[in-house]
Structure 1
Amino acid sequence: MFWPVGAVCPLCYRAALTQPESCTMCGRQRILVGRTPDGGRICKACSFPDERPDYCSSCQQPADLLPGRRCPRCTLLAKVTRLLSRDGSTLDASLRPLADVLSDASNPYPVLAWLRRSPAARLLGQLVTAPDELDHAALDALPQGHATTYVRSLLTTAGMLPPRDENLALLINWTARTLAKLPGHQATLIRPFAEWHIIRDARRRSARGRYTYTAHKGDCANIRAAIDFLTWLDTQQHTLQSLTQEDLDVWAISRPALRARSIPFIRWAGARHLTRVGLTIEHPPSQLPGQFQIEEEHYEELRRCLNDPTLPSDVRIAAALIRLYALPLTRIVELTADHLHHDADHTYLTIIRHPVVLPPKLARLIDDHLEDASRHGNEATRYLLPGRAPGRPRNPAGLSDKLKRYGLPARAARNTAMMEALADLPPVVLSDLIGIQPRTAERFAAMAGENWYDYLAGRHSARA
């Protein structure tokens, strides 16, 4: 491909098509194919001012035309209308908000590519044939995958579905599917344990805004451990009523990976007199963190986050928050623009309930990141690190992998940041500040060689 700027490789050609920028001469968002003598990048119309410009057949504006002699925006509007309408031209009034969300992108090229290639777009086209039947229950009945998740987020962003706690919904739907596959005698026990113990507690945490994706995975693991335990009882020809402590010890030894996860079910069954009195599984000994960084390495990585413009902004922000405040990725991905506040002198980030002052470089980085997201049409979500699905945060596991690829792993840095914080803060203060268990903070404090019992005693005396 040859442009006025010179030969262009296929990769750069596709990148230019998907990332229109402001022409330095006319100021319009265009595909930039030429340069001015002083190095400014310009569009086709400005590169060839003596030629008659190409006009869109729909809006009659000069444009970089796509097949059908339409500009990218008019092409997108036509394709969205064709996807969402029964006859290819007339939109149902109830689908207008969805059409607006899809066609109102500041950069139409990625949406055009999504309409052309994505399974989610094909699924959406199938579902909108009956818009009156679109609800969360209808989507829950479909096979759950990336396409279903994306379509649900899109419909929620458009206001066609009410928002809900998706992590809680994942737990409830997974539990229902799992119970349906169990033998009757197992389902009789697992159903009340799951619904009245696990899910009820999850609902309470969700109401407080504290039910994370990691919490959902942990609750599912507890239910799976209970099912595995009952299956083991069947193979041993035991029942809960005939179970002895020796049997339970054999189970715990033979299932080290499930040992801790089975404790909630054993306690639940004992509290309801489904087992003999006094049967227990002890928690395995707590493993102290083993991954740390030396101080020089820790601060060198922090300097990279704050100063290296070659790193992606999401990597710089997440890695800096870990190294400065020991925040877990599960909490970082839930941060939104509403957690940021500015005054005349400082920018504050509210963690749980407590605002902390951000370093000026990190504050500017976050402001620029949010401004860039707004320019690319993500202002509706306002997550600091939005996910691929509209209205959803970034997946913490995927973000962790990305940090590793850029040489900024999370676990060792967070452990080190915890130790650094405990040099100045009592464990109870740190646990309240960043939302970790007091027991975890105490373990780190013990490793750091600090003893805060005098502080706790003084705090208790002051309250009394």
Structure 2
Amino acid sequence: MAAKIRVTWPDGPVCGICFTTALRTRGSCPNCGQDRLLPGKNSDGYDICRDCAGITTNMTCEGCGAETERFRAGHCIRCVLRADLDALLHPHTPPDLSLKRLIGVLAGAGRPESVYTWMRGANTKELLIRLGTRSIALTHESFDALPGSRSVEYLREMLVHHGMLPDRDRQLAAFERWLATRIQDLAATPPIQAPIERFARWHHLKRLRQLASPGKSLNTAVRSAKQEITESGKFLGWLLAEHGLTIHGLKQAHLNQYLSEGPSTRYAIRTFIVWLIKNKEVARLDMPHRYAATKPLITQQQRLALIRHCIESTASPVGFRVAGLILLLFGQPVGKIAALKCLDLQPLPEGLHLSLGNVPVLVPAQIAPMFWDYLHDRPNQQTGNGASRWLFPGTMPGQHIHADAMMGQLRALGIDLGGARNTALRSLVQELPPTLVANALGYSYQIIHKHGADAGVPMAGYAGKGALPR
């Protein structure tokens, strides 16, 4: 199982992996003091330059002259990337500044080998060829017309991230495409399609467009809209199949029967029913809210043990441990944690602060270095996602990590998401006035006051509106 020997240098035989590692070690040579590649070792085990080590292997790119590993035909990986991309994209015939910039972004990535592998994939290569022949224009409309795939969305988001396509809300655009498909699927049953289309467009789509703003995540709002539209369609299908009625024949008895005979997800039709009543499409009906029978909780001892685990564990990536601490200490929803920006971590004279509500909250001194180190060494920025503004960058350029991916990792840390959040909030309202907690953590006063009541906080603790002291 020994690695295959690639070269033999004065300090011994070198396998392929060690060869690549050696040609990526750079710094000041302790023997001659020059700042250059340090592939060799001296008698004390320190990394030294090629000349001081007596290495004769050629390590100079014939294209750019850089001292580095020669990837192909005497050229480094970056020169190879530029040549291959130039052949695919033809940025000079006719001249296209955006394509020239795309070549520069890809060839200048922190991990060019990954870019080389990515662009050789069949789907990606076809997209690049079509960009080069100009059969795909650099517009969102052109990308929307392509069959949906991760390759298409990855390239699109890379172009947006680096300013070669105009920015737009990705979640809103995806919802619009989903909605068009959903309405088309209902075309065979006009009595269902018509009210669902009106509800979806006039209520949900209008609301999502109003909510959309730079840096704001629509993940939760889009999820809720999809569920309400889907469940409302199911309800109309049931009403037609079971009673032969359209929405205009709906009575209270039908509504009661539907809610009582099925799962709790049926209560997601409430917004639809309220919208119908408001628009005078049905008579006034009693549509109850659905409240959870209990709130999940963990014990304070379990919460403290999880906090310690997030601080001390080395088995999980530090980013997810930082996310776990934000959940366990400040009771934040995972969707909001995933959408935090780098600017939300602020070094102030009193210490490192995190912006969650109206005023920044202090990150405990014991974990502040962990947060600070993570901020300056975030993952997923070595290919098309460099200089990401997100505290938790995703694998898609310009996007933060998806909330579902973060949820899975936090559960792998042993965290009961709902229980941890509720226990954290109850602990905070027992220590501080609920209104101050609401201001600091970005919650509504009603939600935090409810947690205060559940925790048995006396009414004297319900101070007026204010800010949590720094």
Q: Which amino acid aligns with 1:185?
A: P
**1:94 Cα deviation from its structure 2 partner:** 3.1
Match of 2:64 in 1: 59
Q: Secondary structure at the match of 1:372?
A: coil
Q: Which amino acid aligns with 1:56?
A: C
Match of 1:159 in 2: 163
Task: Tell me if 1:347 matches 2:356.
Answer: no
Contact 1:21 1:29 in 2 (8 A): yes
Of 112, 118, 132, 2:116 maps to: 112
Of 224, 230, 240, 1:218 maps to: 224
User: Taking structure 1 as reference, are residues 132 and 285 closer, same or farther at Cα in structure 2, changes over 3 Å only?
Assistant: closer
Match of 2:276 in 1: 269
**1:210 Cα deviation from its structure 2 partner:** 4.7
Contact 1:333 1:395 in 2 (8 A): yes
Q: Which amino acid aligns with 1:274?
A: E
Of 420, 425, 430, 1:423 maps to: 430
CA distance in 2, matches of 1:22, 1:47: 14
CA distance in 1, matches of 2:59, 2:216: 54
CA distance in 2, matches of 1:432, 1:112: 48
Of 80, 85, 91, 2:85 maps to: 80
Q: Secondary structure at the match of 2:194?
A: helix
CA distance in 1, matches of 2:163, 2:271: 39
**1:403 Cα deviation from its structure 2 partner:** 2.6
Contact 1:23 1:29 in 2 (8 A): yes
**1:79 Cα deviation from its structure 2 partner:** 2.4
CA distance in 2, matches of 1:153, 1:129: 21
Q: Secondary structure at the match of 1:204?
A: helix
Of 219, 233, 243, 1:227 maps to: 233
When structure 1 is superposed on structure 2, of 162-171 and 109-118 the one drifting more is 109-118
Q: Which amino acid aligns with 1:202?
A: L
Match of 1:2 in 2: 5
* Deviation readout 1:68-114 (Å, 9 max, x if unpaired): 22112212222222332279x98633312222221111332222222
When structure 1 is superposed on structure 2, of 361-370 and 248-257 the one drifting more is 361-370
User: What's the C-alpha RMSD, in Å, of the aligned pairs?
Assistant: 3.2
Unaligned runs of 5+ in 2: 466-470
Provide TM-score, normalisation by structure 1.
Answer: 0.85
Unaligned runs of 5+ in 1: none
CA distance in 2, matches of 1:427, 1:301: 24
Of all paired residues, the percent bearing the same amino acid is 26
**1:216 Cα deviation from its structure 2 partner:** 0.8
Contact 1:319 1:410 in 2 (8 A): no
When structure 1 is superposed on structure 2, of 375-384 and 422-431 the one drifting more is 375-384
**1:202 Cα deviation from its structure 2 partner:** 1.5
* Deviation readout 1:153-192 (Å, 9 max, x if unpaired): 1110121211112122222221122112222332321222
CA distance in 1, matches of 2:122, 2:352: 39
CA distance in 1, matches of 2:345, 2:268: 37
Match of 2:370 in 1: 365
**1:134 Cα deviation from its structure 2 partner:** 2.4
Task: Tell me if 1:286 matches 2:289.
Answer: no
Q: Which amino acid aligns with 1:115?
A: M
Aligned pairs for 1:232-243 (under 5 A) are: 232-236=238-242, 237-243=244-250
User: Taking structure 1 as reference, are residues 315 and 21 closer, same or farther at Cα in structure 2, changes over 3 Å only?
Assistant: farther
* Deviation readout 1:110-160 (Å, 9 max, x if unpaired): 222222237445434434532773222222233333223212211101212
Contact 1:386 1:393 in 2 (8 A): yes
CA distance in 1, matches of 2:94, 2:61: 21
User: Taking structure 1 as reference, are residues 253 and 359 closer, same or farther at Cα in structure 2, changes over 3 Å only?
Assistant: same
Aligned pairs for 1:330-341 (under 5 A) are: 330-341=335-346
CA distance in 2, matches of 1:245, 1:404: 41
**1:231 Cα deviation from its structure 2 partner:** 1.3
**1:256 Cα deviation from its structure 2 partner:** 2.0
Task: Tell me how many residue pairs correspond in the alignment.
Answer: 450
Q: Secondary structure at the match of 1:342?
A: strand
**1:407 Cα deviation from its structure 2 partner:** 3.8
Q: Which amino acid aligns with 2:276?
A: A
